[in-house]
Chains A and B, each alone.
Chain A
Amino acid sequence: MAQAVIFPKLGQTMEEGAIVKWLKKEGGAVAKGDILFEIETDKANLEVESFFEGVLLKIYVREGVTVPVNTVVGYVGAAGEKVPDVAPKAEGAPAKPEPVTPSRVESPRVEPARVETRLPEASPAVPTIPNSSFLIPNSAVASRPVGKQQQPISPRAKALAKGACIDVSRVAGTGPGGRVVEKDVVAYLESSGYNALRVTPAAKRLAAEKGVDILTVRGSGDGGRIMVDDVERAAKRKPVPMSRMRQVIARRLVESKQMIPHFYVTVKADITDLMAFRAGLKAKGVSLSVNDFVLEAVVLSLEEFPVVNSATDGAAVAWRGDVDLGVAVSVESGLVVPVVRAAQTLTLRELGAQAKALAEKARAGKLLPDEMAGSSFTVSNMGMMDVDQFAAIINPGEAGILAVSSGRQVPAVVGGEVKVRTVMAMTLSADHRIVDGSTAARFVNAVRAKLENVELWKALV
């Protein structure tokens, strides 16, 4: 019997998604474990495997179409088996839909890929962003495809404009009712400097192929001749919709910056003693990163300042209870933020081990959407990136984010003397609606004090 292939629900918050790419064709053989298609959610791209063997009999959902989870997207079965012409409704899907497992998760390709969290109880699901609402000012548009304009145009004028690779909407029509006629195009070509353009044959073909208005292309060849590279550069100016994930990230960052009154407090922690302590541990075979100490210091400080571990929508404030710590991890294609759950219940070593495991999973591209959702506070450490100081954008649904910079050897005053010390800047971005300036100051100083207190670490390791 043919098995329905359903669009998987891969996270608790996941309600819909789109198939980015089918890796099998209709009529193609499918083996157990073969990747059937790749899906895109607002957090990641995932490959979906088949658990059945046979032939992909039918594809209902084309690439790029957003559908609710559990939608039947196709059927796998024996060759020649009959399947419905139209996809059955999601409710009518077989009781035992074909199980699917994600085999690989592609990480977000962007730096500020903060995880999505919500106020408990309060917030609605993330609305989808229709591609058509994607707007870019006209000035940024390199060219509009010939033939999509509103104004009337004669067939001869249209053909001439197309052959010349120009945007006909720029041509003023002198025919009845403003109709563009052939002589208008000819006049435009003369007045616009078109006739003086020098274009290589291949570049002109490519411009026609890509719908690039040749008048907008700057030539880099001999004597300003327009070359293939120039057309390709111009074609790239055309806006293309970002991935769904990227759009969600963009919207959430804007939302955060517009809705949350950010303010920033920076302290510099002297980590010289901590580094020495850590080196001593390493010699004993205990491997903890500087970031592990930072995370633990943050967890302990959040317990002292619960308001920094809460969230507000402007009307109500909710304390998060657990410290679900988001840890930004740099991966090949950008940055992801896996979450260490109930971090306050973990020992320093457990916290370090979990953060390490999640980071490895992130780098292998194996994080699931749920593992990147629901953090209550986030730490973004760019210590490896050789930066003096930076400020991060708060994840909506959190009250703050701590941006950790590189340790620097600097002259510092210790006991009235100038010494070389390793100093690391940390900047808290806080939601001023619930975090007061003095609270933020005390919070970052609490983090600093812990990092500088080696006696504390001796007790905790």
Chain B
Amino acid sequence: MYDFDVIVIGAGPGGYPAAIRAAQLGKRTAIVEREAFGGTCLNWGCIPTKTLIASAERYRHAAHSEAFGVTTKGAAFDYAKMVARKCDIVAKLVGGIQSLLKSNGVEMVRGAARFEDAHRVSVVQPDGSARWLSASAIIIAAGSDSAMPGFLPQDKRVMDSRAFLDLTALPESLLILGGGVIGCEFACMAAMLGAKVTVVEMLEDIVMVLDRDVRRVLRRRMEALGVEVLTGAPLTGIAVKRGKVSGTFNGRKLSGDALLVAVGRKPNTAALDLARAGVNVDERGTIPVDAQGRTNVASIFAIGDLVTGSIQLAHAATQQGVAAAEAAAGLKSKAESICPACIFTSPEIGLVGLTEAKAQQQGRDVKVAAFPFAALGKAMAAGETDGFVKWVADPTTGQLLGAQAIGCHATELISEAAVAIRNELTIDEIGRAIHCHPTLSESWMEAAHVFHGACIHLPKR
């Protein structure tokens, strides 16, 4: 007999929903968390960054509203207050998660867990004492940490995103290593607050998951914010001297008050002693699982960032966590295959499903239709005419396969596309569905009309 039916290791956006779902299904459930409930998403990821970005945008609007007929004088900001506000919001949400877990009767255990065997974990608790827990099923949801390559100097000025969020003063000049999603989000936020930002990306462009047309808008807008974007070569010779971090890009010397490292994330699997449970780990340290999140050990599941091929998004982990909890409870649940992603740069970006580039790689024939915000009344009214939405659809059946949006509220807009794609609507249905005027979401319908060569609001070509 085991102490619990289900143990969840890690209380991030994958782990705590898994625990709550297991409890909802009548399972005696425990959750083990070594640091902070809510995990990376809530404490050092999605939520704190969005809070700071909201502050940065508020400041930018305040400072630049002359065109709207609003004159403000002496708009200024206090970064320390912005960070304090962030901390308040995080604390509130962390408390909320703990009360959710409590109300569902989930036992919360603090400390670092490691496997003893396939059904047992030991937890080193904050007071140093060890506690053993056993369960018939265990869900691994331990997440990931920023990768900090070995060639980087060990110095407080060289930091990952988590350390950056705890700064109480914004560096005046900031180097960012890595032009992926995280690097670009921080670059936009810091640039909006007046920092001199330089992004260095080794690949040919930033945020390569996006199609070229979307990247082009992002890059142009980041440059308009004053961000210098350097791509196609590595940052070499990184060193810290006299309070400055410096490095070389293509023979050019770069320097800044701090270096933010955003070159990817590594799974938190090493400390779990997975071998003792017999769980297979691949060469990158991630855990291969089936569609229900089951590892090679039938009673052990893994979800979220530490899963092989995972897309490393909070909402993906949540869905996987719920599916794994249901599978652990003996239900036949299936992980969803359509997962939208949002990028909180300025402007925002949303994407879901197939991109044009991916379709090309797969040798799949697709037809693409886009509609620019510049042709939308609402976008003009809001002063946000830069951006567009685009559909990627099957040319024969019109099935919606993918969508991307860049511009104001793109991260909200993408959900309509996700629902449409997930439910296998064709571009005809989107074109026929009436959308409110004047809104930004009209652009989805307009793009569908473009697909059919029947767009009212674009000049005839």
Contacts and interface: CB of A to CB of B under 8 A. Distances in A.
A69 B425 CA distance: 51
A202 B398 contact: yes
A205 interface: yes
14 contacts: A200-B423, A201-B425, A201-B429, A202-B398, A202-B400, A202-B424, A202-B426, A203-B424, A205-B396, A205-B398, A205-B399, A206-B399, A209-B396, A228-B424
B331 to A, nearest CB: 15
Contacts of A228: 399, 424
A203 B426 CA distance: 9
Interface string A175-219: 000000000000000000000000011110110010000000000
A435 interface: no
Contacts of A73: none
B428 interface: yes
B397 to A, nearest CB: 4
Interface string B387-411: 0000000101111100000000000
Given A200-B423, A201-B425, A205-B399, 8 more contacts: A201-B399, A201-B424, A201-B429, A202-B400, A202-B425, A202-B426, A205-B398, A228-B424
A201 B423 CA distance: 8
A227 B424 contact: yes
Contacts of B429: 201
Interface of B: 394, 396-400, 423-426, 428-429
Contacts of A227: 424
> What is the interface of chain A mostly: helix, strand, loop, or mixed?
helix
Contacts of B398: 202, 205
Closest 10 CB pairs of A and B: A200-B424, A202-B399, A205-B397, A202-B424, A201-B426, A206-B397, A202-B426, A201-B425, A228-B424, A202-B397
Nearest to A206: B397
B352 to A, nearest CB: 15
A201 B425 CA distance: 5
Contacts of A200: 423-425
> What is the interface of chain B mostly: helix, strand, loop, or mixed?
loop
Contacts of A209: 396-397
Contacts of A203: 424
A3 B188 CA distance: 64
A228 B401 CA distance: 11
Contacts of B394: 202
Interface string A228-268: 10000000000000000000000000000000000000000
Nearest to A201: B426
A354 B54 CA distance: 73
A200 B398 CA distance: 12
A200 B419 CA distance: 12
A135 B394 CA distance: 33
Nearest to B337: A229
A157 B423 CA distance: 30
A205 B428 CA distance: 11
A201 B397 CA distance: 9
Contacts of B426: 201-202, 205
Q: Which among B396, B425, B426, B429 has the greatest number of chain A C-beta atoms within 10 A?
A: B426
A160 B15 CA distance: 51
A200 B428 CA distance: 13
A202 B353 CA distance: 15
B338 to A, nearest CB: 11
A163 to B, nearest CB: 14
Interface in A127-158: none
A201 B424 CA distance: 6
A227 B337 CA distance: 13
B396 A201 contact: no
A205 B396 CA distance: 9
A313 to B, nearest CB: 48
Nearest to B400: A202
Contacts of B397: 202, 205-206, 209
A206 to B, nearest CB: 5
Contacts of B424: 200-203, 227-228
B392 to A, nearest CB: 13
B14 to A, nearest CB: 23
B420 to A, nearest CB: 10
A202 B427 CA distance: 9
Nearest to A227: B424
A203 B397 CA distance: 8
A201 B429 CA distance: 8
A203 B400 CA distance: 11
A451 to B, nearest CB: 38
A206 B426 CA distance: 11
A380 to B, nearest CB: 33
A202 B399 CA distance: 5
A399 B88 CA distance: 85
A386 B146 CA distance: 43
B34 to A, nearest CB: 37
Q: Which among B396, B397, B398, B399 has the greatest number of chain A C-beta atoms within 10 A?
A: B397
Contacts of A202: 394, 397-400, 424-426
A206 B396 CA distance: 8
Nearest to B428: A201
A227 B394 CA distance: 15
A209 B399 CA distance: 12
A210 to B, nearest CB: 9
B52 to A, nearest CB: 38
A165 to B, nearest CB: 12
A101 to B, nearest CB: 29
Interface string A26-51: 00000000000000000000000000
A245 to B, nearest CB: 24
Nearest to B334: A220
Contacts of A206: 397, 399
A353 to B, nearest CB: 37
Q: Which among A200, A201, A205, A209 has the greatest number of chain B C-beta atoms within 10 A?
A: A201
B387 to A, nearest CB: 27
Nearest to A200: B424
B346 to A, nearest CB: 35
B125 to A, nearest CB: 43
A443 to B, nearest CB: 45
Nearest to A199: B424
Contacts of B423: 200
A232 to B, nearest CB: 11
Q: Which among B423, B425, B428 has the greatest number of chain A C-beta atoms within 10 A?
A: B423
B315 to A, nearest CB: 19
Contacts of B396: 205, 209
A206 B394 CA distance: 10
A202 B397 CA distance: 6
Contacts of A201: 399, 424-426, 428-429
A201 to B, nearest CB: 5
A198 to B, nearest CB: 11
A459 to B, nearest CB: 48
A205 B398 CA distance: 8
A265 to B, nearest CB: 41
B415 to A, nearest CB: 18
A227 B397 CA distance: 13
Nearest to A203: B424
A228 to B, nearest CB: 5
Nearest to B429: A201
Nearest to B421: A202
A200 B429 CA distance: 11
A227 B336 CA distance: 13
Interface in A360-375: none
